Amino acid sequence: MTKKITNNKGFSLIELLIAMSITLVLMGVATTLFSGALSTRKRESRKTDALTSARAALSAISRELSNSGYGMTTNGIVTADSSAQKIHFRANLSNEDYNTNSVGEDVTYFFDSATQSIVRYDPNTTPTTSVIVNRISNVTFKYFDYTGSNSTPTQADVATNNTGRVRITVTVKLEEVQGQPKNQTITFTSEVTLRNSTYMLNQY
């Protein structure tokens, strides 16, 4: 009778430890890669939201500001109420004896730091104050004055009766994403020509 020899020897403790270590390392690498991908996706998503907000703000302000002074004898900017972070302008869109008492004819845009938003104020509407866009870090206005036939403007933080162009700069601070650099900002700039300013009217 032949005796059958069976080898029941399994993995040694050292082999098991090595196998477990390799598995843990691979899992760690996979987790890191997955986490990084999620972080990047989250960052890009928030960046897209920020870009959309900035563009919406610029579009809203530029559209109305370009009509400043329409139907009037001035550029329409209320100089005493306009600054680097606020602009107040008028347009007689309805052509009613130089009055600006209709909706959309007496508008102020300003940055509200408390709500991190750009606010539009129109005394002839209900409600009179509305948030144009939020998640904004800052908005600034630069004024370019033209005198006489001089095509080279002077730049200032204060508007005058000679202002013919306004530069609007909207800054958006991106929300922090774990694993990404902090304090990232996106800046958009738009320049609006006041087509009803004295200088521009003299070009036609």
Name the nearest CA neighbour of 91 among 120, 108, 67, 110.
67
The predicted structure's pLDDT at residue 120: 93
**For all residues of the chain together, what is the average pLDDT?**
83
The predicted structure's pLDDT at residue 122: 95
Classified as helix, coil or strand, 37 is: helix
| Portion of the chain with pLDDT greater than 90, in percent | 32
pLDDT at 192 over 90: yes
How do residues 42-89 score in pLDDT, each as one tens digit?
Answer: 666 767 777 787 788 888 899 999 999 998 888 999 999 999 999 999
What's the predicted TM-score (pTM) here?
0.74
The predicted structure's pLDDT at residue 173: 78
Q: What is the DSSP letter of 71?
A: T
- Higher-confidence residue of 149 and 168: namely 168
The predicted structure's pLDDT at residue 19: 82
